[in-house]
Amino acid sequence: MSMHSHIIGLGAYLPERILTNADLERVVDTSDEWIRERTGIRQRHIIAKEEATSDMAAQAASRALADANIDIGDIDALIVATTTPDMIFPATATILQAKLGGKDFPAWDIQAVCSGFIYGLAQADCMIRAGMFRRVLLVGAEAMSRIIDWRDRSTCVLFGDGAGAVVIEGREQEGGVIGSILHADGSYRDLLKAEHPHEHATPDAFHTEGIDFSTDAAGIAAIEMKGNEVFRVAVTKLGEVVVEILRKYGFHSRDVDWLVPHQANIRIIRATARKLGMSMDRVAQTVQYHGNTSSASVPLALNELYRKGCLEPGQLVLLEAFAGGFAWGANLIRWSKEKKG
């Protein structure tokens, strides 16, 4: 009998420090009203100076393992989706493996920016179906605040830090991950990017509520985005991919119980919901509290639904994300984990 990939554990971590829109009003030419109207974001979490991406990942992963009632010795493979690795090499996944006390099993990173978790879930599912692994720990973790130019009001308001994790297990039981759709088009690469480090030290003026945004580095890699163009393409591609995945696997939009979208912009989320004819009360929404946490946003939103007791066995859950590259995709899941709460 064929194996099916079931999510058996979920975990999340958000740094303690919170940066509100009001905080940003004091240091850059923006306003709470402007940010909320255009993005839906009210606040975001900021990683501590002494923390690394792997530290956030370790917190989320440990909670996912505990939720699955297993330990790191029961894991066959570890995948970390991240745009902000601890270092160029080794992979953040191997650093995380050591922090969790694991060894010997394969561990590697995926870089598909905000679509990293979607790509990682598709990859883990294929490997489990092929019989290569039984249990995979998949983590999306990002320290996006470290690749932001805090003088650029068009991008500094958008991003936050955090990590989300799931444990995926192969079972003969029907359900679990039904399938995935992945796309990319590199011709759009200049619309949303972060090049190698260049000169633009963050101003010393960025001190608010105990959060120090100054840096000793002469230059850091920073996100550059042509927002209007990215918005238009994102709305189009996400509208297409959610229809495509439902059609491929024989479902209709009315069959979807929960949409778990990438949390980048509330207007993009609403547009995708409209494409599916879904009311927003069936859509996971964390963008207002987390901002755009890139590859961490989908697992963070999924974890919140689970922790609130919203997800029930038998429900059809649709995940989707759009990212720089451009890379985008969707996963379709027949939820099988018992309701939380």
Place of tokens 């999306």: 140
CA distances from 144 to 48, 156, 265, 276, 293 (A): 12, 10, 16, 30, 7
DSSP assignment, residue 283? Answer: B
Q: Which of 117, 168, 119 is nearest to 337 (CA)?
A: 168
Give the sheet arrangement for strand 107-110, strand by strand.
4-13, 161-171, 135-143, 77-81, 107-110
Catalytic residue among 262, 265, 290, 331: 262
DSSP alpha helices (H): ranges in the chain? Answer: 21-25, 32-39, 53-68, 92-100, 116-129, 227-248, 266-276, 287-290, 297-307
H-only helix segments in 250-314: 266-276, 287-290, 297-307
In angstroms, rounded to a whole number, what is the distance separating the alpha carbons of residues 333 and 88? Answer: 33
- 228 catalytic residue (yes or no): no
Contact 258, 282 (CB under 8 A): yes
DSSP of 204-225, one letter per residue?
A: TT-EETTEE---S-SEE--EEE
C-alpha to C-alpha distance for 215 and 236, rounded to whole angstroms = 38
* Catalytic residue (one of 21, 292, 303, 331): 292
Task: Provide the 8-state DSSP code for 203.
Answer: P
Residue 262 catalytic? yes
Catalytic residue selected from 114, 265, 290, 331: 114
Three-state secondary-structure class, residue 258: strand
**Residues with a known catalytic role:** 114, 262, 292
